Amino acid sequence: MKKTGQATINDVARLAGVSKKTVSRVINRSPLLNDETRDRVEKVIAEIGYVPNPQARALALRRNFLIGLIHDNPNPHMVLNVQQGLLEVLRDTEFELIVHPVDRGAPTMLDDIKRFVERQRPFGVMLLPPISDNDSLAALCRDNGVRYVRMGSAQFDEPLHMVASNDREVVCSAVGHLIEAGHRRIGLVLGPHGFRSALERRRGYEDALDRADITLQRTLVAQGDYTFESGMRAAERLLDLSPRPTAVFCSNDAMAAGVLHTARQRGLDVPRDLSIVGFDDTSIASHLWPPLTTVRWPIATMARAAALKLIGEDDEDSGESLFVSTLIRRASVAAPLE
């Protein structure tokens, strides 16, 4: 055989008494093939344990069998869950996952991704928030014939290219949960400017107040940037207010943990003096004291769906593109004191 020890398509062809092209057809499931020939080739393939060489395929097809994960390192919890979901589908396929983080903010970001796409020629790429917002990235993929799926807090692309969560709706019901418990002065800690998720969650908060005929008070809205520290800062401002809010919805768990931290430093009891709701259901949420009421969105499920869209046949149904989040009720919410 070969010196490398790896069987090639030539070995298969020779042993099966057919041409390379025929073997190639078997591998690529060409429909116009004699069943008998196909069987014979497949038997040889199984016998010698032949697997096509990905590098040669990539060269000939001008397309790699890799799925790229492009992200701007938002929260680690999300990135890892996405990887896990993706890999669950990719495992046992010929695809591998290639991780390519970028620096949103850097002016070279688009060039960087362009180089990545043009050089690696991945089969498809998954775009994570917040950069999934970026329409030029989607266009870049389309122009290069690279499949893509965008993950986001709302549907801003065709179902084939989108896995979205219903942030606005679920936040509305989360804040509604606080209102039902009797709260009227409900603080909001925003996510960072320019993040679609921050916008959607803010809208959900406003929807809930609207629905309950509560006037939106701008002083109750504090800026945050999804970090623990920004949660602390927001809490310092919010808890200085008089009257104090009796509850706070935080646009993610890390900030909720920061709010909790600051509240405790001030001698406040959670949830007696302050109810807190987070978003993400990261592991910290359930391990905090008290355990945090929060929103869980099905990241891994969305990633699995995305993987299927990325590697699926062209003629297949593209599957779900909207995924519902759920409110996880824990001990950080109670009725207000007064």
Partner DNA sequence: TTGTATGCGTTATCAT
Partner DNA sequence: ATGATAACGCATACAA
**Residue 50: how many other CB atoms lie within 10 Å:** 19
4 sits near DNA (criterion: CB under 7 A): yes
List the one residue from 83, 132, 230, 275 that touches its own copies (CB under 8 A). 83
219 sits near its own copies (criterion: CB under 8 A): no
List the one residue from 14, 38, 184, 237 that touches DNA (CB under 7 A). 38
Question: Is 146 strand, coil or helix?
Answer: coil
The smaller minimum CB distance to DNA, of residues 20 and 43, is found at: 20
CB 149 within 8 A of CB 162: yes
As a whole number of angstroms, the longest Cα–Cα distance in the chain is 87
10 sits near its own copies (criterion: CB under 8 A): no
List the one residue from 93, 136, 219, 283 that touches its own copies (CB under 8 A). 283
Which of DNA, its own copies, none does 284 bind, CB closer than 5 to 8 A by kind?
its own copies
The smaller minimum CB distance to DNA, of residues 41 and 102, is found at: 41
Sign of CA dihedral 231, 263, 257, 278: negative
314 sits near DNA (criterion: CB under 7 A): no
Which of its own copies, DNA, none does 139 bind, CB closer than 5 to 8 A by kind?
none
Gyration radius of the chain over CA positions: 26
6 sits near DNA (criterion: CB under 7 A): yes
Q: Specify whether the backbone of 226 is left (phi greater than 0), alpha (psi in -120 to 50) or beta.
A: left
29 sits near DNA (criterion: CB under 7 A): no
Nearest to 179 by CA among 210, 203, 202: 210
Nearest to 256 by CA among 266, 264, 248: 248
Tell me how far apart the alpha carbons of residues 149 and 132 are, in angstroms, rounded to a whole number.
9
144 sits near DNA (criterion: CB under 7 A): no
List the one residue from 96, 169, 236, 273 that touches its own copies (CB under 8 A). 96
Work out the angle at residue 312's Cα, subtended by the Cα atoms of residues 309 and 318, and round it to the nearest 5 degrees: 45
User: Dihedral, CA atoms, 172, 174, 178, 180, nearest 10 degrees?
Assistant: 70
287 sits near its own copies (criterion: CB under 8 A): yes
Size of the site for its own copies (CB under 8 A): 42
Which of DNA, its own copies, none does 79 bind, CB closer than 5 to 8 A by kind?
its own copies
Q: Which residues bind its own copies (CB under 8 A)?
A: 4, 6, 51, 53-56, 58-59, 62, 64, 66, 73, 76-77, 79-80, 83-84, 87, 96-101, 115-116, 118-121, 228, 254, 257-258, 261, 264, 283-284, 287, 289
